[in-house]
Structure formats: structure tokens, C-alpha cells
Amino acid sequence: MSDPSEALASAKAAADRIVNVKRLNACLTPIKELRKSLAAQASTAHPSGVLYGMPVAVKDNICTLEFTTSCGSKILEGYRSPYDATAAAKLKAAGALIAGKTNCDEFGMGSSTEHSAYGRTLHPFDKTRVPGGSSGGSAALVAAGAVPAALGSETGGSVRQPASLCGVVGIKPTYGRVSRYGLVAFGSSLDQIGVLGRSVHDAARVLSVISGRDPKDSTCEDRDSLRLPNVPESLQGFVIGVPKEYFPQDLDAAVRRACDRAIRLLRELGAAVREVSLPHTAYAVATYYIIAPAEASSNLARYDGARYGPRFNGSEDVRALYRTTRGDGFGPEVRRRVLVGTYVLSSGYYDAYYRKAQQMRALIAQDFRNVFDRGVDLLFTPTTPTPAFKAGEKLNDPVAMYLSDIFTVTANIAGLPAISVPIGRIKGLPIGGQLIGQAFLEDEMLEAAYALERAVPAAEEA
């Protein structure tokens, strides 16, 4: 696309498609506002940009000038950021159109998008099920065909898990590959902006645009933006490790079948596949659910009614202002995280929990280095232990909800890039396979993902 009339048509078509899937509650932006903004963006977008006219939806915890940024929370209802996140600014500079803000679990805390103050998002193929989370709105919009790609964010799997459950591609880049400037902080040492796309190519194109150095984020690496690899003819020369800890005895039989088929296809493509071990995997969920809440409790201290968003009434003094604002403004899952985080950081328990979790984090990261040092290029695992679960099924059982992140949190803990690619269906519900790569070697990971995507019958029952 290269002329403004095409960009305008693309903007209008995107708005129409988003209206058509309104029942999913995936997009939080009011439709009138969305239409107006898309038209305005299309008329000013730069025709020479590599994403010219491409509608890209953005998770509601990524700041944009055009729309409010509520993070799925009441505490930021109506909040308008005075600046664009670097990722959003880069999208616009490349000619893309920001196609509204997507529903998510409050501040990214959750795995089902049920923890949103604005109602749950429905799974696009089965309204009784969840789309995964926390980037469930982005995943549902892409899976429903409303946009070719959307930004999400990852602290422990929030791009890959919903991608897996909705049958789309989800990429979590290496920590430091994409600027976090303007991504509302959850667990700063784990957070990365990621991309959901209807294909590896769509997701990778968007990732390439948003990647690269940013003086506004000191944790963003001083590197050029990601160069996209070609689609490989074969995977000859690739060594792919299959970590046995990700295939426990009690793994869902259909998930195992889908993975076995994907592994067979990787072999047929020429890759050497070998079993490997990541011995500290069993501690990953516990480690994550100490570190992430600890960082969250500190990051969320800023929401006090004095600085951002609405102020809740009935506050006669400053302590009461904090109490009522935070008590009314945060939902139950966020309050739980703040409590857990404050507890594990408190002086009496710091050594017992937080320090131990940091030590375990180092061991988990070392597990990956050991495997990669022995000549393994990439790892293959399931993305999620099951297909999309029923709404309400895990809502009152936080541990069951947390366990749906069991295969994804490790890449965040170790800072590694990972991608989920659809590898089959189980009774019509999609399931994803995950490739975990080495730090800053997204190009190799994408090559393997391209090949797998082409070979695997993703729409077939496993």
C-alpha cells in the first residue's frame, strides 16, 4: 500500500471488523472515537513507512496519545498519557495505524483476561471460554481477523499463552530488545512488550519495527532493530532441544500428541532433535510468583489518588485518600499481588522468600545457558498445559490460574526470546508450540518458527 486512499480504506475496514466482533469485548476504545482516530491517523501516516496503513491494536497498558490507557483497571479509568510509548511511536513512524486499546487483566496480572475492571474478553471460537491473558484482548482481535497484529506485554507469558489459546502467533522478545518506555510497569525485570500476529511474518514485521535502542529506557540494549530472516528451505544444521521437564507424565494427552507431531516435522525439516534437561524448571512458577509480585508491589505504589487517574471520594486526610483510592481502585488480584509482594519483601521474610527466589532465578537462567553451551540452538516445548479453559473455572483458585503459566514464565525469568506458533487443535480449540531461543538470537528463532508454521497442519486435530 502506498497512497493515502488505500490507508484510509484500510482504516475504515479495520474499524468495521472491530465493530463486527464487539461481542468479544476485546477492544476497550469506544467505536466512534476509534473510527475518528483511525481516519485521522490514515490521513497523516507516512506513506513510505514499512507498515504503512497496517492497523495494529495495542494493549491497554501501553501508553498512546490517541486513546486512554487504563491497564484494565478502575484506578486508571479515563487516564490519558501525555506521551506515546516508544513502541507506539515507532509503529506510527513506520506508518502503522493504532487500532484501539485492547482489554487485559488488570495491570497484566492474570492468565484469562477475567481480571479486567471492564469485563472479561470472550474466546473468539467459544464464548464460554477464556482467550487467555493477560493480553487476551489483543489475541482475540487477531484471532477473529479484526487486525493482522497487535501489541501485548509479557511478564510471565501474557503474549504467548493467549496466542496459544487463540491459535495465533505470539512473540516475546529478549529482555532489552524492545524499549519498555511507556509500558506501564508490572515486574520491571521481567516485562517486555511483545507482538501477536496472525502469522509469524506479521508478528515479526511488527517486532522488527518496535525493536532497537531507546535512550529513554536504560534497560533497552544499544542495538539496531531486529533484521528479519528469510524463510528457510530447511532446518538443516539446527539443533533443537526438547526439555524433558516440559513433558511431565500427566501432560494432557492431546497436547502431547500435537507436540510429538511438531517435533516429527522439525526433524523432517532437517533439524537434529535431542532430549535435554532443565533441572530447576519445577521451581519456576514459585520463583516467578515471588519476584513478580515483589516488583509489582513497588511499581504500583505510585497509584495513590494524587498523581494518576481518578481520586476516590471520602478521603478526609492523606492516609484515607490512599486507602480509599487503592482499596476501591484496585481489583482483588492486584490487591493479592500487592499483599504478597509486600510480605516477601518485608524485613522478616526477605531472606526466606525474596532472596531465595533471586537465587533460584540465577539457577534457572544457568540451566538454559548450560543447554545452549552444549550446542543446542533452540528449545521446543508446549506453550500451555491445556487448550482454552472455561470462564470462571480458575477464577477463584489463584494457584490453578498461576499454573497455566508453567511453560512460559521461564523465558521471562531468564530474559530469553520465545515464540508460540499454532500446532494443532483439540476438539476445535487451538494449541500452541513454543520455541525458546538464545538471548538476542530472535532471527534464528524466527527461522525455525517460519519453517514450523509452514509444515504444521495447525487447523487439524492433534
- Site residues, ligand GLN (CB under 6 A): 108-111, 134, 153-158, 186, 292, 405
Rounded to the nearest angstrom, the gap between the alpha carbon of residue 125 and the centroid of all alpha carbons in its chain is: 20
Q: Which residue has the cell 497484529?
A: 149
Cell of 349: 521474610
In the bound state, the residue with its beta carbon closest to ligand GLN is: 158
Q: How many angstroms separate the CA atoms of 113 and 109, rounded?
A: 9
Q: Which is nearer to ligand GLN, 35 or 361 (CB)?
A: 361
Residue 56's closest CA among 73, 76, 42? 42
**What does the DSSP 8-state code read for residue 282?**
G
Decide if 209 contacts 161 (C-beta within 8 A): no
CB of residue 432 to ligand GLN, shortest distance in Å:
15
Q: In the Cβ-directed half-sphere of 116, how many Cα atoms lie within 13 Å?
A: 32
Catalytic residue from among 70, 73, 134, 297: 134
Q: Which is nearer to ligand GLN, 41 or 383 (CB)?
A: 383
Q: Which is nearer to ligand GLN, 372 or 407 (CB)?
A: 407
Torsion of CA 441, 442, 445, 446, to 10 degrees: -140
CB of residue 293 to ligand GLN, shortest distance in Å:
8
Q: Which is nearer to ligand GLN, 167 or 293 (CB)?
A: 293
Q: Which is nearer to ligand GLN, 86 or 111 (CB)?
A: 111
Q: Which is nearer to ligand GLN, 154 or 304 (CB)?
A: 154
Q: Which is nearer to ligand GLN, 134 or 208 (CB)?
A: 134
DSSP 86-151: HHHHHHHHTT-EEEEEE--SGGG--SSS-S-TT-PPPBTTBTTB---SSSHHHHHHHHTTS-SEEE
Q: Which is nearer to ligand GLN, 340 or 462 (CB)?
A: 340
Decide if 451 contacts 235 (C-beta within 8 A): yes
Q: How many angstroms separate the CA atoms of 294 and 402, rounded?
A: 16
CB of residue 340 to ligand GLN, shortest distance in Å:
11
Q: Is 59 a catalytic residue?
A: yes
User: Angle at CA 389, nearest 5°, toward 437 and 31?
Assistant: 85
φ and ψ at residue 117, rounded to 5 degrees: -70, -10
CB of residue 409 to ligand GLN, shortest distance in Å:
7
**What does the DSSP 8-state code read for residue 316?**
S
Decide if 220 contacts 179 (C-beta within 8 A): yes
CB of residue 454 to ligand GLN, shortest distance in Å:
28
Rounded to the nearest angstrom, the gap between the alpha carbon of residue 298 and the centroid of all alpha carbons in its chain is: 21
Q: How many angstroms separate the CA atoms of 379 and 363, rounded?
A: 17
Q: Is 158 a catalytic residue?
A: yes
CB of residue 190 to ligand GLN, shortest distance in Å:
8
Decide if 123 contacts 165 (C-beta within 8 A): yes
Catalytic residue from among 73, 138, 158, 179: 158
Sort strands 418-426 and 378-382 into parallel, antiparallel or unpaired.
unpaired
Q: Is 193 helix (H, G, I), strand (E, B) or coil?
A: strand
Q: Which is nearer to ligand GLN, 37 or 383 (CB)?
A: 383
Q: Is 277 a catalytic residue?
A: no
CB of residue 296 to ligand GLN, shortest distance in Å:
8
DSSP 58-75: EETTB--SSS---TT-GG
Sequence-ordered alpha helix ranges (H) in 330-373: 332-345, 356-373
CB of residue 141 to ligand GLN, shortest distance in Å:
17
Q: How many angstroms separate the CA atoms of 416 and 17, rounded?
A: 34
CB of residue 412 to ligand GLN, shortest distance in Å:
7
Residues taking part in catalysis: 59, 134, 158
